[in-house]
Structure 1
Amino acid sequence: MEWRKCYLDVILVPLGFLITGGYHVWLWHKVRTQPLTTIIGTNAVGRRFWVSAMMKDNDKKNILAVQSLRNAIMGSTLMATTSILLCTGLAAVISSTYSVKKPLDDIIYGGHGEFMLALKYVTLLTVFIFSFFCHTLSIRFINQVNILINTPQDCTSNIVTPEYVYKLLERGLLLNTVGNRLFHIGLPLLLWIFGPVLVFLCSATMVPVLYNLDFVFESGKGKFEDGNIV
């Protein structure tokens, strides 16, 4: 009997995650093969030139560099704080005995048993914890860049190079992107509390929205290799 109640959860929730996961695999492939067709790849190319320009003329642009990196740190801090607050709220709900944990059985499809409820909240908690973890690591890398980008080049030209600082910045911003995507995945999971149908619909709707945010052109025209657009 419990299986009959949970069959929609077993089918629709994995299908929704499969749609979202398939899109991100395709996005990763595009970033690797045709980076200039994506926002992620285009921004990465721009950041490479930005780091080089900041370090080359550091005496005049050091304040601009620090302010730009500070804004990135503030964004990661905001998302990390939001993620850990959601984790705290979910932990409070899980440990409570209030009826808020029990959905309205008459109007919501899917399983409502104790195991299914526990699975929903634990999955949500795990996603937001990993989002918090990624954002905190992002802050760590960007803080390193904040110091190294102002290093005098005449003293450490062979150690702290623009390429090294750029790689640190890319790691930090990549972790920020991963943390944001995990946070976005938490939206369909929040709707899972009210049934698996909403999870599938939200996942299917999120893909075209992310596509319009992630891609610059519909077809790739160039690649970026060794500092040149080909």
Structure 2
Amino acid sequence: MAWKKSYLDLILVPLGLSVMLAYHMWLWNKVRTKPLSTVIGTNAIGRRLWVSSIMKDNDKKNILAVQTLRNTIMGATLMATTSILLCCGLAAVISSTYSLKKPLNDSVYGAHGEFMVALKYVTLLLIFLFSFLCHSLSIRFINQVNFLINCPPDDNVHNPIICPEYVSQLLERGFTLNTVGNRIFYAALPVLLWIFGPALVFLCSLTLVPVLYNLDVVFGNELADSNYKGKMQGNENREEGVTRV
């Protein structure tokens, strides 16, 4: 059987994207099991403590809370705007009558037929659309936190309606969606290089993984992570004891 140029796309592109997917599955498991060994988990714990501190001393820190959340919303808005603008540009390219594959026939390794070119641009369009969706939902949750974090304390101390735990959950949902939107946006880089050949997708994925690893992992924090897990287990046991009583 003769070797076809499309075989490079069938092998290298899924392999490169699988490397990225495997890394983020490992990171997700690390955040769940050892949160203090990752930047995402450490920041999540810090935000939980920040919400509790703001709501306990709301009279003095309400302006600080609003300004901090406003900066976060501005960052998510910038990413959402960038994603939707790129979607509009790609939609215009896809719908244009100009044949995009002709200038690339002699310079691209792998398949470069009309179907393959359309597949590349549609994949990019979907990636940016999902990134826009995640950032839009992130803005929604953070806007809710912007209102709830300045709510006056409830008289029912034992079962408050608006408690720091609830506000922390909303804030974490917003930041989780923001992180997912950013990671989807990063995944567009290998797919963008796919226009020029499948080998670049694989090489870009192999390059991004160690870069993201150094940005996501907190080195030398194993002791703090074990202490945090022990503290959390102690708090759970104490809460179970109080519930039983």
User: TM-score range, shorter-chain basis?
Assistant: over 0.9
Deviations 1:135-190 (A, max 9, x none): 00000000000000000014575000000000000000000000000000001111
Q: How does 1:35-184 map to 2 (within 5 A)?
A: 35-155=35-155, 158-184=160-186
Give distance in 1, aligned partners of 2:189 and 2:221.
Answer: 30
On the 8 A contact 1:86/1:128 being kept in 2, the answer is yes
Q: Relative to 1, partners in 2 of residues 1:156 and 1:93: Cα closer, same or farther, differing over 3 Å?
A: farther
1:203 maps to what in 2?
205
1:103, distance to aligned residue in structure 2 (A) = 4.5
1:227, distance to aligned residue in structure 2 (A) = 6.4
On the 8 A contact 2:36/2:221 being kept in 1, the answer is no
Give distance in 2, aligned partners of 1:4 and 1:103.
Answer: 20
Amino acid at match of 2:109: Y
> Aligned match of 2:187 in 164, 185, 190?
185
Q: Relative to 1, partners in 2 of residues 1:3 and 1:138: Cα closer, same or farther, differing over 3 Å?
A: farther
Largest Rg, 1 or 2: 2
Q: Relative to 1, partners in 2 of residues 1:103 and 1:215: Cα closer, same or farther, differing over 3 Å?
A: farther
Amino acid at match of 1:76: A
Deviations 1:4-52 (A, max 9, x none): 1211111000000110000001001110110000000000110111000
Give distance in 2, aligned partners of 1:64 and 1:147.
Answer: 13
1:107, distance to aligned residue in structure 2 (A) = 2.2
1:27 maps to what in 2?
27
On the 8 A contact 1:124/1:189 being kept in 2, the answer is yes
Give distance in 1, aligned partners of 2:140 and 2:198.
Answer: 37
Aligned identity (percent) is 70
Give distance in 1, aligned partners of 2:164 and 2:81.
Answer: 31
Give distance in 1, aligned partners of 2:196 and 2:126.
Answer: 19
Q: How many residues align?
A: 230
On the 8 A contact 2:154/2:162 being kept in 1, the answer is no
Give distance in 1, aligned partners of 2:112 and 2:19.
Answer: 25
2:241 maps to what in 1?
none
**TM-score, length of structure 1 as denominator length:** 0.94
Structure 2 unaligned residues grouped into runs of 5+: 235-245
1:100, distance to aligned residue in structure 2 (A) = 4.0
Q: Classify the secondary structure of the residue corresponding to 1:136.
A: helix
**TM-score, length of structure 2 as denominator length:** 0.88
